[in-house]
Structure 1
Amino acid sequence: MPNSKAVDMPEEGWEGGVMYGSTGEKQPILGQNVYAAHTYSTNSEQESVLPPPPTVLPSVAPSSPPNILVYHRRWWIMGTFSLLGIAQGAVWNCWGPISDSAKLVYGWTDGEIGMLANWGCIAFFLFAPGLMYLNADRLRLSVVLTALLIAVGTGLRCIPASTAIATILINIGQFLNGVAGIMLMAAPPLLSSTWFPPNQRTTATAISSIFNYVGTSVGYLIGPLFVSQPHLTPNSTLQHNETAVEDISGQIMRLMYVECGYCTAVFLAILIYFPSKPPTPPSLSAAMDRLDFKTGVKKLFRHGQFWLVCLAYCVPGGVIGGWTAVLDVILSPHGISQIDAGWLGFYGNIAGCAMGLLLGRFADYFAGHLRLIIVVMMLCATGAMTWFTIMLYGALPLTQVSLYVSFILTMVSVNASVPLFLELVMETTYPIEEAVSAGVITWANNLFALIFLLVPLLPKVGVTWMNWAALGAVASSIPLLCIFRENYRRLHLDTGAGTVTHDDSKHVINDSSVIEERKPLLNAA
């Protein structure tokens, strides 16, 4: 063929070569049970990445090892999924930052404001079994349905109606958004393992999970920007009250229209192009079959180390998630307005997201040290949360700088740990399906958030306890992590660094075959 080039391969330890297919794309041709160390393609569509030689997987490997390729289109997949995460997070956190205005317009109580955020937790308990159908083959269907639910939910909130009807429509919309959150919280590890090579997996998980928190930050920002703080006094005239309610009601509707338009645009982008998986897997572990759902669930529930890391993630994650959803309610008794609380939440979440992305990349460079990084972050979170709590209750002077610094440090430490926790769980539970493991820890995360947000519905409970509960939840993860024994099964399989067991069979990894320096074998014209 005219566009092909002959490539000289090393004589010893290699078989096969590289040729052009009929479409002009390069496809590696591999000899049986022999892997090339690393090949590069200048094709704009894909990069070829092959694991180190040789890995023998007699019980589950195919008779001929799979092609291992990485496609540039993975960044479109990651980008659209991240935009969807922003949409879901912003809609979920829509009402907390404007709670004072919503109370004025709709006559809601603090408990009803908390319930709007709590629909996500309730939806998860009702629809979590649907995660059994989430795998690499059904990723497109799951993501398209998720985007549709968010678009429909935000559309319902835009329907003009009386206060009573509008309250019902808003609750239905929040419920649909909560159902969508199930997949968005469980899918990031599956998406990263399906589309990304081992040296980018933690980074990919960080991006796809962290941008949901970016959406929460957007909710803190755009709510107070669109909806003004009510300034009604007991001596205000009735006419002044009615005018203020009408103005703020119009501002809330404009916010609903903007969020609906954004969510609809993201839905259309995903509908146009979002394949379930690439034509060829990006790693050896991605090419391997996972345990079926029933077997995976049985093994997971008997996995003691999984439950240690699950509790270490879910207790602080769920409680802090519920705590931030009602931040304005918590800070209002201390004279902090909803606008200030909104900016506080925005900066805290944005800083946490930025640190999460940096930590994800850092963890990819220093693979095998996830537990140590997480322990350090949770120690920082405990110290910052202690400072924040005792400052609010008079033990330390309450200043704006101290309030911002302590809250931002808390959110940085907690939010940045989320993708690391997810990857640590995936490594610990491999070869159980990623969606099963992620689904269980997401279920547990929502359980603790649900409990936290249901307590304010009890009479005469107040909000004083919330900061102390958040502090205790963060601190509880440290002893659990200290007794947890980390195991990087999936990473060892992809890098050839050890022996991995799968049921009663052994995956034999040849330590001496690991190539420390990989150089391009191909320079295409």
Structure 2
Amino acid sequence: MDEVKPLLLLKPKAYARRWWVLMYVSLVMVFIVLSWNTWGPISQSVEYGFGWDNSIIADILTVGRIGAFCSIIPLSYLADMKGIRYAMITSTTMVLAGYGFRCAINQSTSTWPALLGQIFVGSGMGIAYSGPVAMSAAWFPPKERATATSITVMCTYFGYGMAYIIHPLLVSTPVFGEDVSSYWNTNQTERINYTDHNLSTAATLTNGSSGKIVLNKDKIQEETMTMTYIETVIAAVLVVVGVTLLPNVPPSPPSYSANAVKMGYTRVFLHVKRKKLDGLDFLVS
């Protein structure tokens, strides 16, 4: 809808840098959702590589959703009150913290690094629900807001789908074998820790025996950690770029309504409550 009645004397102006802001926010959306959907596409690989089972994968995905649910309102409030820059920096910082925990998953037999990492990554994903609208309202004129919002929202779905392409390409699928008589270490005293799905075959294997084993467990662990380190660097770059280069609002608003004075949340709530009570009094009378 065109704005035909000025709300302020300041003349609206659209800046070319709005496309840079759109590109940055869109890339962050792709990366955050891709990070949140890390374990699902490679669930079989990490089950055999790290000894996780289906229940652990389900728990990791669940805590990620809980983190996203709990962060929607705080990040939306931050974007509304402080601007898109502070909300994006907070979101990418939480994702980086999540990758910090993920980098320790091969250092512990427990799954707590994966669970904590998923909570932080999921918390960073809360910006995907409010960031597109906040960005387009602050930077784009009315005729371009729908397009800018749709591009950013589409990037969230794009990141979700890309996880099913990128992660399986980076992490190998399990390779199974039957004869384990030749899989000894160089000291000929310990068997390499290959295992099957339920970890029971490896516990009963003896010298010269055979059973279903995973031949590339070490490779799966190495590739998973390499993928994690690469994505950690990407998360760090997004934080640095957001802090140093991402502007909060344009010097002049892109529309008259973009720079209008907004009512606080408490005042809005009280106003709505008062109007509701006035309406009930009218019905009673």
Q: Which of 226, 239, 245 pairs up with 1:273? A: 245
1:80 aligns with 24
The one-letter amino acid paired with 1:221 is I
| Distance verdict in 2 for CA 1:127–1:298, change over 3 Å | farther
Aligned position for 1:23: none
For the residues of structure 2 that align with 1:133 and 1:140, how far apart are their CA atoms? Answer: 10
Matched, 1:146 2:91: yes
Q: Deviations over 1:440-488 (max 9, x none)?
A: xxxxxxxxxxxxxxxxxxxxxxxxxxxxxxxxxxxxxxxxxxxxxxxxx
Among 244, 248, 255, the alignment partner of 1:283 is 255
Deviation at 1:183, TM superposition (A): 1.7
CA–CA distance in 1 between the matches of 2:65 and 2:257? Answer: 32
Deviation track 1:403-423 (CA, whole Å, cap 9, x = no partner) reads xxxxxxxxxxxxxxxxxxxxx
Letter in 2 for 1:237: V
Partner Cα distance (1:264, 1:289) in 2:
35
What is the alpha-carbon distance in structure 2 between the residues aligned to residue 125 and residue 221 of structure 1? 26
Q: Give per-residue Cα distances to partners, 1:302-324, cap 9 Å, x unaligned.
A: xxxxxxxxxxxxxxxxxxxxxxx
- In the TM superposition, what is the alpha-carbon distance from 1:137 to its structure 2 partner? 3.4
- Is residue 2:230 matched to residue 1:258? yes
Measured after TM superposition, the shift of residue 136 of structure 1 is: 5.7
The one-letter amino acid paired with 1:135 is D
Native 8 Å contact 2:41 2:167 kept in 1: yes
- Computed over aligned residues only, the root mean square deviation of the Cα atoms, in angstroms, reads 2.6
Q: 1:199 to 1:230 in 2, by over 3 A?
A: same
Deviation at 1:156, TM superposition (A): 2.4
Residue 99 of structure 1, CA deviation: 0.6
Q: 1:218 to 1:92 in 2, by over 3 A?
A: same
Q: Which moved more, 1:198-207 or 1:123-132?
A: 123-132
Measure how far apart 1:285 and its partner are: 2.1
Residue in structure 1 matched with residue 205 of structure 2 by the alignment: none
What is the CA distance between 1:160 and its match in structure 2? 6.2
Partner of 1:402: none
C-alpha separation between the residues in 2 aligned to 1:280 and 1:136? Answer: 18
* Structure 1 pair 160–109 and aligned structure 2 pair: CA distance change class (3 A): closer
After TM superposition, give the deviation of residue 158 of structure 1 in Å: 1.9
Distance 2:41 2:216 in 1: 18
C-alpha distance in 2 between matches for 1:185 and 1:204 = 14
Which residue, out of 102, 112, 132, partners 2:77? 132
**Matches of 1:260 and 1:285 in 2, distance apart?**
39
Is residue 226 of structure 1 aligned with residue 198 of structure 2? no
- Determine what percentage of the aligned residue pairs are the same residue: 26
User: Which amino acid letter does the alignment assign opposite residue 121 of structure 2?
Assistant: N
CA contact (8 A) 2:37 2:163 kept: yes
Give aligned pairs, total. Answer: 243
Shift of 1:151: 1.8
Counterpart code for 1:264: A
- How far off is 1:230 after superposition? 1.0
Larger RCO (alpha carbons 8 Å, 6+ apart): 2
Who is 1:237 aligned against? 180
**Which segments of structure 1 move beyond 6 Å, counting only runs of 4 or more?**
298-301
Stretches of structure 1 that go unaligned for 5 or more consecutive residues are 1-50, 302-525
Counterparts of 2:48 and 2:32, CA distance in 1: 25
Equivalent residues in 2 for 1:166-181, closer than 5 Å? 167-181=111-125
Q: Is 1:128–1:182's contact at 8 Å kept on the other side of the alignment?
A: yes
What is the Cα deviation at residue 184 of structure 1?
A: 2.6
TM-score normalised by length of structure 1: 0.43
> Residues 118-169 of structure 1, C-alpha deviation per residue, up to 9 Å, x if partnerless?
223211343444233331633222211111111221132123644424x211
1:216 corresponds, among 139, 160, 174, to: 160
In structure 1, the partner of 2:11 is 67
Q: Which amino acid aligns with 1:132?
A: Y
Q: Give the Cα separation in 1 of the matches to 2:271 and 2:168.
A: 47
Within-5 A mapping of 1:68-467: 68-130=12-74, 131-135=76-80, 137-159=82-104, 161-165=106-110, 167-232=111-176, 235=178, 237=180, 239=183, 241=213, 243-296=215-268
Answer yes or no: is the 8 Å Cα contact 1:136–1:190 preserved in 2.
Answer: no
Cα separation, 2, equivalents of 1:114 and 1:181? 18
Distance 2:33 2:257 in 1: 31
The offset of 1:229, in angstroms, is 1.3
Relative to 1, partners in 2 of residues 1:127 and 1:136: Cα closer, same or farther, differing over 3 Å?
closer
